[in-house]
Amino acid sequence: MNPRRVGALFWKELAHGSKTFMFIFAVLVPLVVTLVVRLLLGTIFSGKPRLGITDLGESQVPALAREIDSLVTRQFASDSELRLAVERGAVDMGLVLPAGFDQQLRDNEQVEVNAYLWGESLLKNRIILGSTIVFLLREVSGIEAPVEVVPITVGEGLSLSWEERLFPLLVMLTIVIGGTMVPATSLVEEKQKRTLRALVTTPATVGEVYLAKGLAGILLSTFVGVFVLLINQAFGAQPGLLILTVILAAAFAATLGLLLGTFTSDINSLFTIIKGLGLLIYAPAIVYMFPQIPEWVGKIFPTYYLLAPIIKISQGSASFSEVGVELAILVALIVLMVIVLGWLGGRQAQTAE
């Protein structure tokens, strides 16, 4: 193993690979998914009723509405803008507040407001919006509720938001696309274009080619993985341990990618295998999405040991001793795959020669 040759091959991999579709895909997909999840969970998937307000005066109602967490409140400049937003379902209900509205309310004068209701809005959203609007108007007029409400939580268990449930899938997607797909497609392309055979006729060995491709996958996967954790504000209390775990997870993914690339001879077969394995790879992330599924189900799948430490450190601020067993299993799995890869790679070298 010559480090200079590995370095040269690694740089070639980065320079050439960074222009390929799979490389760009590996960088863009996690970022786009993060943005889409944030956008959708912040508004559409939140389950919150959406209220639109056009204030023709200087009412306190829009500001008070924005303080209520259980609503999504949007303000519109004119009646026609609000009407359009209700028509296309951007908000469930639209309220037009006339000039001098608050004063008329406080003086107990009869006041008229226009309300637009989106035809497809759910009955429960209509009820909640209706009661919330009346509550806001009472707040403005200074009427105090005759009851004191005591909220009580029944039962014990983990309450996870959809954002938290989807996060493991996002982490898995980031690690697998960059770590597995990039080395696998790169290796298969070299085989299809017969450049792998050309490479091993030079002083470079199959092992060095594999190592360079694996390192490129690890670098890409780690870089995108850390970036995704950063933009999701999920770096936890142990950043050093988290980065080490991401590197190990990326190494696992890259070794898996090289194994897949070694097994297959063309891109079609590679994608067919990846589609077939997809459920096994992503299964632990799916288990995380549904807390009703017992945790031991996730532990059956090897990828659990790359995902669980990242989630525990980033979301639960776990220490090294708390994720030590999972990390040891992850390292053992990497070593096992490297041994299989060494054996398969040796056979490949003989075929190439």
Partner 1 sequence: MNWRIVWTLVRKDLKLFFRNRFFAFVSVLGLFAYIGIYYLLPGSVEEAIKIGLIADELPPIFDELQEEGLDLVLLDSEAELEQRLLDGDITVGYGLPDDLMAGLLSGSKQQIKVYFSYDFPEELKDAYIILFRELVFMMTGQELNVQAEEVVLGQDMAGAQIPPRRRMLPLMAVFVLMIETMGLSSLISAEVEEGTLTALFTTPMGARELFVGKGAAGAGMAFVQAALLIVATGGLRREPVLILAALLLGALLVTGVGFLMASGSRDLMSVMGWGILAVVVLALPSFSVLFPGLFTGWIKAIPSYYLVDTVHKVINFGAGWREVGANLLALLGLSLAFLGLGVATLQRRYR
Told to check if 353 binds partner 1 by CB under 8 A, we report: no
Question: Cβ of residue 312: shortest distance to partner 1, in angstroms?
Answer: 21
Amino acid at 86: V
Applying the rule CB under 8 A, the residues between 274 and 313 that interact with partner 1 are 275
The only residue of 4, 15, 69, 294 in contact with partner 1, by rule CB under 8 A: 69
Looking at beta carbons only, is 155 or 203 nearer to partner 1? 155
β-pair partners for 22: none
Q: Which of residues 182-211 bind partner 1 (CB under 8 A)?
A: 185, 189
Is 137 or 311 the residue whose CB approaches partner 1 more closely? 137
Task: Say if CB 257 and CB 186 are below 8 A apart.
Answer: no
Nearest-approach distance from CB 158 to partner 1, in angstroms: 8
Nearest distance, CB of residue 1 and partner 1, angstroms: 30
Nearer to partner 1, 125 or 222 (CB): 125
Q: In the bound complex, what is the minimum distance in angstroms from residue 5's beta carbon to partner 1?
A: 27
Q: Which is nearer to partner 1, 85 or 215 (CB)?
A: 85
Using CB under 8 A, count the residues that bind partner 1: 75
Instruction: Return d(Cα 310, Cα 313) in angstroms, integer.
Output: 5
Q: Which 119-178 positions form the footprint of partner 1 (CB under 8 A)?
A: 119-120, 122-124, 126-128, 131-132, 134-135, 137-138, 141, 143, 145-157, 159, 161
Instruction: Please tell me the distance from the alpha carbon of residue 34 to that of residue 31, in angstroms, as a whole number.
Output: 5
Q: Which of 271, 277, 317, 329 binds partner 1 (CB under 8 A)?
A: 271
Give me the least distance between CB of 40 and partner 1, in Å please.
7
Give how far Cα 185 sits from Cα of 196, 213, 260, Å: 13, 10, 9
When the beta carbons of 173 and 249 are compared against partner 1, the nearer one is 173
CB 18 within 8 A of CB 220: no
Taking the C-alpha atoms of 158, 162, 168 and 174 in order, what is their torsion angle to the nearest 10 degrees?
Answer: -170
Beta strands 50-55 and 72-76: pairing type? parallel
The footprint of partner 1 on residues 2-61 (CB under 8 A) is 20-22, 24-25, 40, 44, 46-50
The region of 197-205, 244-252, 267-275, 345-353 touching partner 1 under the rule CB under 8 A is: 267-275
Site string for partner 1, 86-125 (x = CB under 8 A): xxxxxx-------------x--xxxxxxxxxxxxx-xxx-
User: Could you give the C-alpha distances from 262 to 66, 80, 256, 276, in angstroms and in order?
Assistant: 56, 62, 10, 17
Give the SS3 label for residue 247: helix
Alpha carbon separation from 245 to 117, 147, 328, 350 (Å, rounded): 51, 52, 11, 35
Q: Which of residues 310-329 bind partner 1 (CB under 8 A)?
A: none
Q: 48 by DSSP, 3-state: which?
A: coil
Whose structure tokens read 């493991």?
168
| Secondary structure (3-state) at 46 | coil
Only one of the segments 4-12, 80-88, 208-216, 232-240 lies at the binding site for partner 1 (rule: CB under 8 A); that segment is: 80-88
Residue type, 318: A
Contact residues for 353 (Cβ-Cβ < 8 A; gap 6+):
200
Question: Which residue, 125 or 348, has its beta carbon nearer to partner 1?
Answer: 125
d(CA 189, CA 312): 37
Q: Binding to partner 1 (CB under 8 A): which residues in 227-246?
A: none
